[in-house]
């Protein structure tokens, strides 16, 4: 009976083309070929004068701008300032979100005390708070970090709380039978059990943090990737504007890779993130 549902009979042999390249490999190449082709066509169109550089500068020109800004060090200063803001906001918002999530996830009393209020504040789109934030903190660093922290707080809070709620009560019972003390319960059962959900929260939080940073850096600034873009707009330097967009994209990809590595580290026990036997 169990054989009917066993995967032994359900193996799909890898499809191969006549040349011997597997279809998966072919599709992988194709997925990279399309954007590459777009860049080539774009470059060609720019060089043939079909697109004016004011509207869309050639990729080679954007690359040249990147090299120039990197050479005089400006690019790294702006990048460093932006990353520092993001990191500070993330650490502050993430810590508060995690602490509140653990507290509310554990204790019905804490839930009664905090959850409704937090959910009310969460219902406000955080960008709508921008005017208020400026009134409170002006347009300095504090306002920017506050915005990022606010954007990070809610996804971390909600996913931490849900992760803790989803822990199997039977495992808590086992902890009682075995006689684990409170710290061991948190360390061995609560945190690892909630970790998949917490990391989902981190993933959302990174995306939100980035969005908040882009908005925050359009406020009066003299440094940061956002300043670079605003400044370029003043002087109609489309190639710099494009460069900042690409930098935001690259950092987004790196942040995602970071979360993936965290998942590989903390969730290797999970079938969905399996890496095999731990050594």
Partner 1 sequence: MIASLALSRESNVLELNEERAARPGLAVSVRGLQRRYGSRVVIDALDLDINKGEFVALLGESGCGKTTLLRALAGLDQPDAGQIRAPERPSVVFQEHRLLPWATLWENVALGHEATIGRAGAAHALNEVGLSGRENDWPRNLSGGQAQRVALARALVRDPALLLLDEPFAALDALTRIKMHGLVKELVARHQPGVLIVTHDVDEALTLADRILVMRAGRIAASFQPKHHTPQALRSVLLDELGVRAH
- Nearest-CA neighbor of 104 among 93, 118, 91, 94? 118
- Nearest-CA neighbor of 243 among 87, 72, 83, 68? 68
Give 64 or 193: the residue with its C-beta nearer to partner 1. Answer: 193
Give 147 or 190: the residue with its C-beta nearer to partner 1. Answer: 190
Give 112 or 174: the residue with its C-beta nearer to partner 1. Answer: 174
Give 16 or 176: the residue with its C-beta nearer to partner 1. Answer: 176
Question: Minimum Å distance from CB 96 to partner 1?
Answer: 26
Cβ pair 45, 59 in contact under 8 A: no
Residues that bind partner 1 (CB under 8 A): 170-171, 173-180, 184, 188-189, 192-193, 195, 267-271, 274, 277-279
Question: Minimum Å distance from CB 238 to partner 1?
Answer: 50
Buried b (16+ CB within 10 A) or exposed e, 94-105: bebbbebbbbbb
Give 222 or 272: the residue with its C-beta nearer to partner 1. Answer: 272
**What's the CA gap between 112 and 99, in Å, rounded?**
16
Give 74 or 173: the residue with its C-beta nearer to partner 1. Answer: 173
**What's the CA gap between 197 and 201, in Å, rounded?**
6
Buried b (16+ CB within 10 A) or exposed e, 57-89: bbbebbeebbeebeeeeebeebbebbeebbebb
Terminal alpha carbon distance of the chain:
36
């Amino acid at each position: 009976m169990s054989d009917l549902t066993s995967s032994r009979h359900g193996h799909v042999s890898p499809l191969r083309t006549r040349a011997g390249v597997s279809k998966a490999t072919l599709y992988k190449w194709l997925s990279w070929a399309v954007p590459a082709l777009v860049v080539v066509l774009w470059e060609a169109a720019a060089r043939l004068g079909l697109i004016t550089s004011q509207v869309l500068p050639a990729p080679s020109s954007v690359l040249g701008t990147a090299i120039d800004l990197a050479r005089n060090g400006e690019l790294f200063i702006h990048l460093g300032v932006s990353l520092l803001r993001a990191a500070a906001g993330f650490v502050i918002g993430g810590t508060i979100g995690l602490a509140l999530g653990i507290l509310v996830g554990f204790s019905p009393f804490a839930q009664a005390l905090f959850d409704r209020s937090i959910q009310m504040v969460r219902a406000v789109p955080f960008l709508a708070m921008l005017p208020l934030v400026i009134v409170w903190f002006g347009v300095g660093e504090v306002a920017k970090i506050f915005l990022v922290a606010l954007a990070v707080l809610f996804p971390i809070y909600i996913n931490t709380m849900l992760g803790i709620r989803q822990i199997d009560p039977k495992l808590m019972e086992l902890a009682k039978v075995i006689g684990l003390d409170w710290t061991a319960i948190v360390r061995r059962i609560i945190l690892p059990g909630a970790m998949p959900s917490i990391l989902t929260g981190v993933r959302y939080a990174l995306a939100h943090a980035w969005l908040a940073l882009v908005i925050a850096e359009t406020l009066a600034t003299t440094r940061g990737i956002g300043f670079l873009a605003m400044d370029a707009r003043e002087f109609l330097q489309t190639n710099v504007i494009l460069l900042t967009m690409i930098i935001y994209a690259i950092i987004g990809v790196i942040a995602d890779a970071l979360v993936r590595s965290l998942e590989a580290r903390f969730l290797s026990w999970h079938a969905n993130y399996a890496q095999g036997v731990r050594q």
